[in-house]
C-alpha cells in the first residue's frame, strides 16, 4: 500500500507489495524490492537500490547526498541488500566520486536509532550498530560485527568479522577479527577474544583454542609483530580462522588496535 501523501519520483521502481507510509519521499532512480516497507516521513535519496524484506522506519534517511564537501551531486549510489532493519532517524549516505562511488550494505543488519553510515562505507551482513553509533567515510565493517552505542569509527578504518566494540569507544585503527574492544584513555584497546559471540556462532573448541594461542603470541608476548606473525604461522597450521586473522593484520594500512 502506498499512502496518497507519499511523494515518489516517476523514475523510481517499486515492487508491487512495497508499503510506503504517509509523507515518505522516494527520489530519482530508486529501486525497492518486494516485501520492503518505508516508514512515515522517511526519505529515500536518489540512486538508491534497496533489496527485499527491509524495514525502514519513520524519519530514517537512506541514500541522501554525502556530507563530504567535495561531493557536488554526481551520480553515486547506495546499495542495500535484504532483510535489513533501519530504525528511526538512522542515516545512510550515498558514495562519492572520490571514493568507490557507492555505499554498500549487506543482509540482515540492524541499524538502531540515530546510527550513521557515511559515504563510501562497505558493511557486510548480520552487523548491529547500536543507538548513535557512527561511521565516518570509507569505513569497512565485516560480517557479524556489533558496535555499541555511541561508538565512533574514523575514516578508512576496517573492523574485522565477529568483532564486538564496547559502547562509547573511539576507533581510529583497524580492529582484527574475533576481538572485543573497549575504550581506553583516548582510543580503543583489545580486551581479548569475543568468546561468547564466537561460541554462539558455532566456532569449534579446537578453533577457539587455536585463536587463543594466536592471540597470546600476537598481543601478549614480547615479540615484534612481524616476528609474532611468523611464529603463529609456524606453530598453528590448518586453521582458516587463524590464517584470516594473520592476513587481516598484514594487509592493514592504518595499523591495528592492540592490547
Q: What is the mean pLDDT of residues 51-59?
A: 98
Task: Indicate the pLDDT class of residue 52, thresholds 50, 70 and 90.
Answer: very high
Q: Cell 529501486 appears where?
A: 31
What was the pLDDT predicted at 73? 96
Task: Indicate the pLDDT class of residue 157, thresholds 50, 70 and 90.
Answer: very high
Q: How far apart are CA 127 and CA 143, in angstroms?
A: 6
Q: From the CA atom positions of the chain, what is the Rg in Å?
A: 20
Catalytic residue from among 27, 63, 99, 120: 120
pTM check: above 0.85: yes
Q: What is the mean pLDDT of residues 30-46?
A: 98
Q: What is the mean pLDDT of residues 53-72?
A: 97
Q: What is the residue extent of each domain of the chain?
A: 7-141, 198-251
What was the pLDDT predicted at 185? 85
Tell me the per-residue pLDDT of 183-196, one tens digit each, with 9 for 90 and over.
Answer: 988 889 999 999 99
Q: What is the mean pLDDT of residues 113-142?
A: 98
What was the pLDDT predicted at 186? 82
Pick 187 or 56 by higher pLDDT. Answer: 56
Catalytic residue from among 63, 99, 137, 148: 137
3-class DSSP string for 68-123: CCCCCCCCCEEEECCCCEECCCCEECCCCCCCCCEEEECCCCEECCCCEECCCCEE
Residue 205 is among the residues annotated as catalytic for this protein: no
Catalytic residue from among 41, 93, 119, 162: 119
CATH code for residues 7-141: 2.160.10.10
pLDDT exceeds 90 at position 150: yes
Tell me the per-residue pLDDT of 240-258, one tens digit each, with 9 for 90 and over.
Answer: 999 999 999 999 999 999 8
Q: What is the mean pLDDT of residues 168-179?
A: 97
What was the pLDDT predicted at 187? 84
Residue 137 is among the residues annotated as catalytic for this protein: yes
Q: Mean pLDDT over all residues of the chain?
A: 97
Q: Does domain 198-251 have CATH number 1.20.1180.10?
A: yes
What was the pLDDT predicted at 17? 98
Helix (H, G, I), strand (E, B) or coil at 135: strand
Q: What is the mean pLDDT of residues 217-221?
A: 97
Q: What is the mean pLDDT of residues 62-71?
A: 97
> How many CB atoms within 10 Å of residue 67?
14
Residue 149 is among the residues annotated as catalytic for this protein: no
Q: How far apart are CA 59 and CA 172, in angstroms?
A: 30
Amino acid at each position: 500500500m502506498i499512502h496518497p501523501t507519499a511523494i515518489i519520483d516517476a523514475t523510481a521502481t517499486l515492487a508491487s507489495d512495497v508499503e510506503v507510509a504517509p509523507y515518505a519521499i522516494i527520489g530519482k532512480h530508486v529501486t525497492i524490492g518486494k516485501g520492503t516497507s518505508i516508514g512515515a516521513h522517511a526519505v529515500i535519496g536518489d540512486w538508491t537500490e534497496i533489496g527485499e524484506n527491509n524495514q525502514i522506519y519513520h524519519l530514517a534517511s537512506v541514500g541522501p547526498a554525502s556530507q563530504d564537501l567535495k561531493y557536488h551531486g554526481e551520480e553515486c549510489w547506495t546499495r542495500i541488500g535484504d532483510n535489513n532493519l533501519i530504525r528511526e532517524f538512522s542515516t545512510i549516505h550515498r558514495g562519492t566520486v572520490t571514493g568507490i562511488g557507492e555505499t554498500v550494505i549487506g543482509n540482515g543488519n540492524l541499524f538502531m536509532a540515530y546510527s550513521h553510515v557515511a559515504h563510501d562505507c562497505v558493511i557486510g551482513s548480520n552487523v548491529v550498530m547500536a543507538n548513535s553509533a557512527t561511521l565516518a567515510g570509507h569505513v569497512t565493517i565485516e560480517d557479524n560485527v556489533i558496535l555499541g552505542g555511541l561508538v565512533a569509527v574514523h575514516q578508512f578504518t576496517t573492523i574485522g568479522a565477529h568483532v564486538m566494540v564496547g559502547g562509547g569507544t573511539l576507533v581510529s585503527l583497524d580492529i582484527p577479527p574475533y576481538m572485543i574492544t573497549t575504550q581506553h584513555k583516548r582510543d580503543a584497546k583489545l580486551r581479548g577474544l569475543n568468546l561468547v559471540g564466537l561460541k554462539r556462532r558455532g566456532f569449534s573448541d579446537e578453533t577457539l583454542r587455536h585463536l587463543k594461542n594466536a592471540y597470546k603470541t600476537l598481543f601478549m608476548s614480547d615479540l615484534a609483530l612481524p616476528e609474532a606473525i611468523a611464529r603463529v604461522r609456524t606453530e598453528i597450521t590448518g586453521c582458516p580462522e587463524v590464517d584470516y586473522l594473520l592476513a587481516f593484520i598484514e594487509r592493514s594500512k592504518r595499523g591495528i588496535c592492540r592490547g
